[in-house]
């Protein structure tokens, strides 16, 4: 007959589960670092490609080749890390990794189209952005099996920060496109405003969950400086002067400097997450057991009434709040994917550019007083019933 488990047995069992979670998180922390390096290089390649395409191959040829080579180095470093994760218990995480790998496998074709100038800058940017989005989508999935509120907070803060950095990268690529062409369409201006607003929202979430030191570093070095703000106003309110690409190169340089500061802070966040994971793994189980043991009935009642229950409630509230924030971020990503699919339908079946497809969805949403994602879902639902007639 088995002996009934006592409190210490249950503690050991809980500690064993926690350690298993933390060991997996330690592996996934390495993955987050590799994703961070790769997305940074893809962001560089995306921006350089925009200048190359919009200048008709006159500018940034060397930068395109260099950023492509550096991105390939990071892809080569990422693949062994992914292989080392097997077996995984999360099918959702496996699906996100599969989507990210599929996006990376499409890069050679995209690069050939860019090199031979067989693709528009808007389309190239959209494909790079989708590949980056699939990579970043892996990060929130790492949080699903973590019970510790502090670790969960660090993961949500990291994901919010990485999303904000990606929107800065998209802002750099959009601005490079408009300044190189010497004009910004209304759609490009709206896209710039959307990226600026979106990054602020992501960084606000990061700051609300961050430790004081990273938050201070962010405020000191990672904001948009005065010259970036001046060029933003030029892009969004006036026609840039014809300058042989000088504004484009200056814009790209300023935003690249900002992205490098963001990249440094991103690496700091990942390293802090890994250190906290290592610290929790190295804690002495016996010491923890002694601290959690209830020595007398009186102590038990005191802990239950004055310490334990409030602590449990507080931790439950923190986990619930973090889960809600993560769910909101996931919803935003899913909505963006639905809108991208609807744009793709319009681009493929109505011969629209990406900008035209965006404006079409936006106009339908305004006309019907609905959110754009609702219009996109409706479009995807009925697309099989369309009798598509190509535009004249």
pLDDT digits (tens, 9 = 90+) for 147-204: 666 777 788 888 889 999 999 999 999 999 999 988 888 888 888 988 898 898 889 8
d(CA 368, CA 282) in angstroms, rounded, equals 58
d(CA 45, CA 66) in angstroms, rounded, equals 8
d(CA 117, CA 298) in angstroms, rounded, equals 78
| 3-state SS class at 58 | coil
What dotted CATH number matches 317-392? 1.10.10.10
Domain boundaries, the chain: 10-284, 317-392
* DSSP 8-state symbol, 283: S
Cβ atoms of 361 and 188 closer than 8 Å:
no
pLDDT at 3: 66
pLDDT at 208: 86
d(CA 142, CA 146) in angstroms, rounded, equals 8
Cβ atoms of 84 and 78 closer than 8 Å:
no
209: its two tokens: 């969950």
The more confident residue out of 42 and 210 is 42
pLDDT at 251: 94
pLDDT at 1: 43
With 0.85 as the threshold, say if the pTM is over it: no
Distance from the Cα of residue 313 to its chain's centroid: 31
The contacts of residue 101 (CB under 8 Å, 6+ apart) are 82
Answer whether residue 316 shows pLDDT above 90: no
Q: Which of 222, 129, 115 is nearest to 170 (CA)?
A: 129
Residue ranges of the alpha helices (H) in the chain? Answer: 7-54, 61-84, 91-105, 107-115, 121-136, 138-141, 149-181, 186-209, 212-221, 226-237, 246-282, 285-292, 297-302, 309-349, 354-368, 372-382
* DSSP 8-state symbol, 87: S
pLDDT at 299: 44
């Amino acid at each position: 007959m088995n002996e009934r488990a006592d409190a210490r047995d249950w503690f050991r069992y809980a500690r064993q589960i926690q350690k298993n979670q933390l060991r997996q998180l330690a592996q996934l922390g390495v993955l987050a670092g590799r994703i961070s390096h790769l997305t940074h290089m893809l962001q560089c390649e995306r921006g350089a490609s925009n200048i190359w395409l919009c200048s008709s191959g006159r500018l940034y040829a060397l930068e395109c080749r260099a950023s492509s080579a550096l991105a390939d180095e990071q892809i080569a470093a990422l693949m062994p890390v992914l292989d080392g994760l097997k077996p995984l218990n999360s099918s959702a995480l496996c699906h996100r990794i599969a989507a990210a790998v599929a996006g990376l496998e499409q890069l050679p074709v995209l690069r050939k189209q860019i090199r031979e100038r067989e693709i528009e800058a808007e389309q190239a940017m959209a494909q790079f952005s989708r590949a980056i989005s699939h990579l970043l989508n892996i990060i929130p999935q790492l949080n699903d099996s973590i019970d510790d509120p502090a670790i969960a907070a660090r993961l949500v803060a990291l994901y919010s920060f990485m999303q904000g950095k990606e929107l800065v990268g998209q802002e750099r690529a959009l601005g490079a496109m408009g300044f190189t062409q010497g004009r910004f369409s209304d759609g490009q201006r709206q896209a710039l405003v959307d990226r600026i607003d979106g990054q602020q929202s992501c960084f606000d979430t990061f700051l609300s969950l961050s430790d004081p030191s990273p938050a201070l570093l962010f405020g000191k070095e990672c904001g948009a400086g005065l010259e970036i703000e001046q060029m933003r106003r030029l892009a969004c309110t006036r026609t840039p002067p014809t300058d042989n690409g000088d504004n484009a190169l200056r814009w790209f340089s300023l935003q690249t400097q900002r992205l490098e500061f963001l990249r440094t802070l991103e690496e700091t966040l990942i390293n802090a997450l890994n250190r906290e994971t290592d610290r929790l793994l190295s804690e002495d189980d016996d010491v923890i057991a002694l601290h959690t043991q209830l020595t007398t009935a009186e102590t038990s009642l005191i802990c239950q009434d004055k310490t334990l229950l409030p602590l449990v409630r507080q931790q439950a509230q923190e986990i619930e709040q973090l889960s809600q924030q993560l769910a909101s971020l996931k919803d935003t990503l899913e909505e963006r994917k639905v809108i991208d699919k609807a744009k793709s339908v319009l681009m493929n079946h109505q011969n629209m550019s990406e900008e035209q497809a965006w404006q079409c969805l936006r106009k339908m949403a305004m006309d019907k007083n609905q959110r754009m994602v609702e219009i996109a879902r409706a479009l995807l639902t009925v697309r099989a019933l369309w009798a598509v007639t190509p535009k004249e």
